[in-house]
Structure 1
Amino acid sequence: MMPIPDHPLRYATVNELHARPFPALEVPATAVYVAIKEPVQAQNRDRGADLAHLLAILDRHGSPHPQPGATHFSGPIGRAELKWESHTEFVTYSAFTRGVSARPFDPAEAEVLPEDWLATAPGTRLTSVLIRVEPMPASEEELLRRLDDWFVPESLAVSRVVDGAAVVAGDFRIDPAGHMRFAVFVAPGTGPRRVGRIVQRLCEIETYRAMSMLGLMRSRDLSGRLNALDPKLSALVSGLDSAEPAPEAALHELLTISAELESLAVQFSFRFGATAAYEAIVTQRIEVLREVRIEGRQTFGEFMMRRYDPAMRTVKSAESRLQAMAERAERAAELLRTRVDVERSAQNQRLLESMDRRADLALRLQHTVEGLSVVAISYYAVSLASYLLKPAAHAMHIGPEVLLAGLVPVVVLGVWWMVRRIKNRLH
């Protein structure tokens, strides 16, 4: 018996669930993370250039290559373990090494991803993160002292996560070396894979936060352009019931504004959609940390609520404003088209009435011409009949005047009856 055939994508869809495994990190450890974004739309990205850039660092260390067309890869580069992932708009490089430097967040730790190699990346650096992973201090006072020494207290976010498995902290500021810094203090008994998941979540929070903030920059540009269009649209809508400008001219100007609004919607729709998706990922990644407050310090969730959520609301506001203006322009265009149609109907009605009047005048003129034509035809008919009947009238001793007087009514009635019969037959 032949087995039932598999769907051609069955294994591919299952493998996608396991495509990006979390790293397993022994404590202490250092993580260096870089996200690179090409300055083009996602659909125009050169993924071949991204893969070539990965192969360049692998070849430096004689490491094996990924499979053709791969979107993720893990392998050694020297004493570090490299993890590479290709996403829709960006690529990420994570390098994990055992141990930590004597100086917290030493810029030399980032040299595992060489500067000259990064300079050849097919894009620009979106985010760069140093994560220091070390055992939990003996006391909470020592923990907080280290955090106050390492981070800016005003911006510091710290919390106990994953049911007390670790304490994570960061101030979301870029240090003089160009890196953002996070600290992970691991409680005794926490396994390497759980540590790896926590570190991966921090990298994802920072990456998707940075990607979603691109929407804020674009929304500010959009707001400026909407501010220029809004007064024009408002003036046109306010003048819908006035005689000036003419409806045709107002409709043309309104269609110009509508076309520009549609163009803006096309330009910004991808970024706004991506921003909403990235915001959802940031929120979800923070939720899975299951934060618990430490000594009244703000958590990652509270930090995002104060600093990040307003930015996302600004993006949503700009998107809603663009949509509302496009809908308002469409409604105004419909009203203007209705007004134009009504005025054209009135013009057509007046034109038909004028045509009716001209047709009535033409009919009256036709009747007048018909009367004149009867007279003219009768005149010639009487002349012809008199020539025909003169011999007979002379024989009967009837004078010419009497003959003409007798012929006129007969001929006129005959011609009138003939013209009327022809007219009736035509109509």
Structure 2
Amino acid sequence: MSELLQKASKLKKASKQLGILSAEEKNTALLQMAEQIAKEKEWIIRENEKDIRTGKENGMSASLLDRLLLTSERIDQIVEGVRQVVALEDPIGEILEAWERPNGLHIQTVRVPLGVIGMVYEARPNVTVDAGSLCLKAGNAVLLRGSTSALHSNKALVGVMRKALAETAIPEDAVQLLEDTSRETASQMFRLNQYLDVLIPRGGAGLIQSVVQNATVPVLETGVGNCHIFIDQMAGKKMAIDIAVNAKLQRPSVCNAIETVLVHKEWPYVSELLNTLHEKGVELRGNEELAASYSFVNPASDEDWACEYLAPILAVKLIGDVYEAIDHIDQYGTKHSEAIITENAENVRLFFQSVDAAVLYHNASTRFTDGEQFGYGAEIGISTQKLHARGPMGLKAITTTKAIVQGTGQIRG
């Protein structure tokens, strides 16, 4: 039997045990997991360094290396993320609705685990723990399939997680890492309906589309982030510049960083905005008018408006009004996170009603599209689709429901 089938079979069995555990039992296990990760931090970092060295040798981009890197501070953040998940209310068993029919049947809708979740992701070892902790808290077993570039890091993290779980009520087999990262095995995983209840891809556009187009297992689709900020004519200078700088530079390599700024052509502080971004090391690519007016602004191609740079590169465009901003986002956006900076309440209303995205902002940075920032603890991904879940996905997004019907002998005539 292949590694995939062996581990999938163990997960299916473990999910049955996991699904009936109490919140206290799951929380105790997760705290043990957090403590073990903290205890073995230095070893995890040494294993991560192997992946970093290989990535550099293979010419991995700076943005991908940043995603791959585990530092002491980042592991502390991972551990804190697990503890935040522990602090969250357990969603399993929550009664969402209850009603009684005229025939005396009492019906409840109750929240239950999905079962076995397959996570497919790229060079983000933090996802290994985020996904693992969220899945376990929500009563789901999880099959983790990371990329070859993070294999040493993922093996170390999963090894530590399983070691911790071995002493708890959660079966250690509830977390499995698929170490075979070949395309053939991935394709088999995407069609493993008899073992997996859902797939969640998290990464670049190529990975996500590969899963969506080839899977027979249901997919909870996360999306790439070609995110925009529209600076309206009635936007304050300091607020607009501060938000644009934060949304681009606070961490350029993540999906909720902005890739395009749309600026009302009558906003009086365009020069200050562009000069600030340029001075902070951002490569600017603008429309004809901007490229002609500023020596440090390169002409933008049509591809620039659609690009998720994940780097300190920003497309900038002068536009006429909120309607043109909405049209541009409709054409090039990826339904992730979009922001408007303005004091014009009517334009905010139009923007919020017309822009199709998982998260919309008024006078705030798009960098808040994040499970922790939304109060969900760690997130399993940011959904840009419309069915089941949308936006940052926390615990409730990886559950489903069942109807419980209680009777006193009713039969249907």
Q: By the TM > 0.5 criterion, same fold?
A: no
TM-score for the superposition, normalised by structure 1: 0.20
The structure where helix makes up a greater share of residues is 1
TM-score for the superposition, normalised by structure 2: 0.20
Q: Which has the higher Rg, Structure 1 or Structure 2?
A: 1
